[in-house]
Amino acid sequence: MKLILKSILLVLVLVISQTSLAKLIKQNLVIENGKVNLSGQREVNFALTVNGGIPAPTLEFTEGDEAEITVINKTNEEVSIHWHGMLVPNNMDGVSNLTTPPILPGGVYVFKFPIRQSGTYWYHSHTGLQEQRGVFGAIVIHPKLEKYQVDHDMVVMLNDWTDENPEEVLKNLKKDGDFYQHKKDTVRSVFGALGTGHFNTYFESLKTRMGGMDLSDVGYDAFLINGKKDQQLVLAHSGQKVRLRIINAGASSYFYVNLGKQKFTVISADGQSVNPVQTQELLLGMAETYDVIFNVQEQKNYELRATAQDISGTASAWIGAGEKESAPDKAPLGLYEMNHTEHSPHDMSAMEMDDMAGMDISEMEDMVPQLEILSYQNLRAIAPTEFSGSAPRLEMKLELDGDMSRYTWFINEKTISEDKYIDINKGDVIRFVIVNKTMMHHPMHLHGHFFRLLNGQGNFSPLKHTVDVGPYQTQTIEFLADEPGVWMLHCHNLYHMHSGMAKVVRYRSFEIPHEIMPAENHDAHDHDAHAIDSWFNYGVIDAFSNAGQLYLRTSNTRNQVDARISSRYDDNWNGEGEILGRRWLDKYWNIFVGGEAFNFESRGVVGTTYILPLFVESSVFFDSRGKFRLDLAQRLQWTSHLYSDWDVTARDSQGTEWGANLMYGFNWSWALGAKLTNNSGGVGFTGRF
Ligand SMILES: [Cu+2]
C-alpha cells in the first residue's frame, strides 16, 4: 500500500514538474531590407536582415516548450519563414500559399507550435530567393535530459554569399547553365582535357551529352560562418569539450568541414542522435546539420575550416586559445577527373554496409569508428527506427533530371508546375527511391517528417530530413505517413527548386484550410516556386566584316520563341530571318512552327530540333512551298578561352551554306575573332546578353 502511494506521488510530482517546465517561449523576428557588405568587396542593397543581422538570431528552446514566434515584415515584398526539420502542424510549416498565408509587406504572422523534439535545426524564408539574401537562422533545442556535458555549445552556420542580386544570378543561369564557369575559370575544353590526359573522359561526356560534373552552378563572392569569413568562434582551453552545431544554410553550396587533421565525434545528424562516430571531416549538403564534439587536447587555437565543395573558397572559425593551428588547403579539383564512377562520401559501398549492419550499439561504442570523412553508411540511429511490419507500403521511384542549357530541373521529367502532387494515405509507410540522372548533387528535403535513410544499418537506419543524392547515385528513404497535411519535397539547391525540382506530398484525407484556399485557387502552380514558369531572355549579337547576326530568345519551362536576322557577304550582301515558336518535349528535343524570310520571300515553316551526341544541334525545316532545309551547328571549346562555332545550312532549293569562326572569349559576354563563310573571310566580335 505504502509503495503504491509512493508511486502515485512520484507520478504526480513528475506530471506537475513536466507541466511547469512547458514554458512559452516568445520571440519576435523583424525582417527588413538592408545594406550589407559580407564579402568585404562591395556593399549590396538587396539583402534581407532579421532583427538587423545576417544570419537571423538563434532560437533556443527546451523539448516540451511552446514556441510563439511573431514574424514582422518591414520589407516591401511578401516573406515567409519555414522551420526546417521541425515537426509542426501543417499550417505552421511556413510555405506561402501552400500551408501558410504569405506575410505581406507591413504584415505580421504569429507562429505557435509545441516543441516535440530536440536537436539542431534551422529556419529560413521559403519565398523566392530570399534565403540567399540573408533570411536564415539556427534553432537549438535542448533535450529534457542532456546526454553530453560540454564546456562550450556553439552554432556553426555555413552559407554562401554573392554580391550579385540572386534574381540576376537566376537570370544568368537561365541564359546558360554554365554562365559562372567563366567567372570560376572552370570551362572545360579539348586542349585542357588533352593536356591533363583526360581526353577520353571529356569526349565521353560530350558523346553521351552528360556534360561535365558540376559541383556548383553559381560563382560566389564569399563563404561565411555565422555571417563572417574569419573569426574567433570560442576561446577554449586544453581539456575542454566544445559542441559544434554545424548547419549548412548555403543556397547552393556543399561544404567540407574539418579542423585540420584533428578528430571530432559526430553525435547527431539532422538533429537526430546517432551512435558516436569519430571522423576528421564532414561533407554537408544544403540543409543538412551535424552536431559534433571536439575535445581541445592541446593549448592551441584550431582552425575550423569550411571549404566549398568545388574548392572555390573557404570560411574559417577559430576554436581554442594560444598558437594558431591552421587547417591545410584542399587540393584544387581536376576538371576532367571527375565522372560518375568516382565516389562521393555519401555513396554506399556494399562492403562497408555489410560490416556495419547487424552490429549492436555496445559493439559500436566500443569501437567508435575512426574515419577520414564521414559517409552515410557510418550513421546509425541510437534506437530502432523500423516501422511496425503491418503498415502498408507504397514504393515510388523519383528520378531527378535537369536540362543545363535552359536551366530547368525535373522530378520524373516534370517540374512542380507541370505535376505537383504525390498523393499518399495516412498510416502508410512511404518509400521513395530517389535516382539521380544528373552530374550534380541534389540534397532532397521532405518537410514535416523524419525519414529513415536506408543506408545498410537495418533496424537502426538513421533518421534524417535531408538526403544528399550524388551524381548518378540512388538513395532510398522511407517514412511513416503520420503527419496529415501538404508537405514540400524538394531539392534544397535554391536555384534547382526554383527551376522546377520540387513536389508536394499530399495526404488524401487532408483538406487545405480555408484561409489558404484562395491562394491555392488563384495561383495554382506558383506556390513556393515563383520563377518556374516565368519567361527569361537571352540574346547574341555577331558583328563581323563579312557577316552579322542578331539572335533573341525568350523561354520558360517548355516554350521558347526565337527571333533571328542575319546577313552575310557571298559575292554580295544578302539577308534572311526567321521567327520560331518552339515546344520542348524533352531535354534534347523540340518541335517548332514559325516563318522565315529568305531571298526576299517569306514562307511558313514547321520543323524539329534535336540535340545529337557531341551537342550537335540539328534542325529540319519544311516550308509552305514544300521545300526542305537542314541546319547543323556545334560549339567546340578548344581552350578555356578559345572556341569555334560552326554551322551548315542545306536547302534543297539552293546550295549549301556554311560558316565557322575562331574566337577568343574574354568572359561569358564578349569574344573577338575571325569568321569564314563559303567564300569570304572577316574579323569581328560576338556579344552575349
Ligand atoms: Cu538539385
Phi-psi region of 653 (alpha: psi -120 to 50; beta: other; left: phi over 0): alpha
Distance between CA atoms of residues 413 and 588, nearest Å: 12
* Nine-digit cell string for 93: 510549416
* Burial status of residue 236 (CB atoms within 10 A of its CB: 0-12, 13-18, 19 or more): buried
Distance 360 CA to ligand 1 centre (A): 35
**Closest alpha carbon to 634 in 651, 619, 653:** 619
CB neighbour list of residue 292: distance below 8 Å, 6 or more residues apart: 243, 244, 246, 264, 265, 266, 267, 282
**Closest alpha carbon to 286 in 597, 494, 456:** 494
Distance 400 CA to ligand 1 centre (A): 8
Distance 574 CA to ligand 1 centre (A): 46
Distance 190 CA to ligand 1 centre (A): 28
Across the beta sheet with 429-436, the strand order is 408-411, 393-403, 429-436, 474-480, 451-453, 463-464
Please provide the DSSP assignment of 290-312 as one string.
Answer: EEEEEE--SSEEEEEEEEETTSS
Distance 77 CA to ligand 1 centre (A): 26
User: Do the bridges between strand 601-612 and strand 616-623 make them parallel or antiparallel, or are there none, so unpaired?
Assistant: antiparallel
Residue 571's pLDDT is what? 78
Distance 494 CA to ligand 1 centre (A): 8
Distance 59 CA to ligand 1 centre (A): 28
User: Do the bridges between strand 119-124 and strand 82-84 make them parallel or antiparallel, or are there none, so unpaired?
Assistant: antiparallel
Distance 473 CA to ligand 1 centre (A): 13
Looking at this protein, which amino acid is placed at residue 275?
Answer: N
Distance between CA atoms of residues 190 and 202, nearest Å: 8
Residue 161's pLDDT is what? 98
Looking from the CA of 137 toward its CB, the CA atoms found within 13 Å total 21
Distance 347 CA to ligand 1 centre (A): 17
- Bridge partner residues of 597 (DSSP): 577, 602
Distance 411 CA to ligand 1 centre (A): 10
Distance between CA atoms of residues 249 and 228, nearest Å: 13
Distance 138 CA to ligand 1 centre (A): 22
- The three-class DSSP label of residue 72 is strand
Over the chain (689 residues), what is each successive 10-residue block's mean pLDDT?
62 54 91 97 97 98 97 97 97 93 95 97 97 98 95 98 96 93 90 91 87 85 98 96 98 97 97 97 98 96 96 96 95 71 56 43 55 94 90 93 90 94 96 95 98 96 97 96 96 96 95 65 46 88 95 94 92 89 94 91 95 95 93 96 96 89 96 94 96
Distance 493 CA to ligand 1 centre (A): 5
For 104-116, letters b (16+ CB in 10 Å) and e give eeeeebebebbbe
Distance 32 CA to ligand 1 centre (A): 29
E strand map for 404-528:
408-411, 421-424, 429-436, 442-446, 451-453, 463-464, 466-469, 474-480, 486-491, 502-507
Distance 512 CA to ligand 1 centre (A): 28
Distance between the two ends of the chain, CA-based, in angstroms? Answer: 86
User: Do the bridges between strand 601-612 and strand 547-555 make them parallel or antiparallel, or are there none, so unpaired?
Assistant: unpaired
Phi, psi of 206 (to 5 degrees): -75, -40
Distance 166 CA to ligand 1 centre (A): 16
Across the beta sheet with 241-248, the strand order is 222-225, 152-161, 241-248, 289-295, 264-269, 272-279, 370-371
Distance 109 CA to ligand 1 centre (A): 30
Distance 281 CA to ligand 1 centre (A): 23
Distance 57 CA to ligand 1 centre (A): 27
Distance 269 CA to ligand 1 centre (A): 20
Residue 171's pLDDT is what? 95
Distance 495 CA to ligand 1 centre (A): 8
Residues 376 and 346: beta-carbon distance below 8 Å: yes
Distance 309 CA to ligand 1 centre (A): 15
CB neighbour list of residue 74: distance below 8 Å, 6 or more residues apart: 30, 31, 32, 33, 106
Distance 499 CA to ligand 1 centre (A): 9
Residues 685 and 543: beta-carbon distance below 8 Å: yes
- Helix (H) / strand (E) element for 355: namely helix 350-356
CB neighbour list of residue 545: distance below 8 Å, 6 or more residues apart: 682, 683, 684
Distance 381 CA to ligand 1 centre (A): 26
Distance 250 CA to ligand 1 centre (A): 13
Distance 310 CA to ligand 1 centre (A): 15
DSSP 8-state secondary structure symbol assigned to residue 228: B
Phi-psi region of 535 (alpha: psi -120 to 50; beta: other; left: phi over 0): beta
Distance 497 CA to ligand 1 centre (A): 7
Please provide the DSSP assignment of 247-283 as one string.
Answer: EE--SS--EEEEBTB--EEEEEETTEEEEEEEESEEE
Distance 133 CA to ligand 1 centre (A): 19
Distance 490 CA to ligand 1 centre (A): 8
Residue 570's pLDDT is what? 77
Distance 150 CA to ligand 1 centre (A): 36
Distance 231 CA to ligand 1 centre (A): 31
* Burial status of residue 302 (CB atoms within 10 A of its CB: 0-12, 13-18, 19 or more): buried
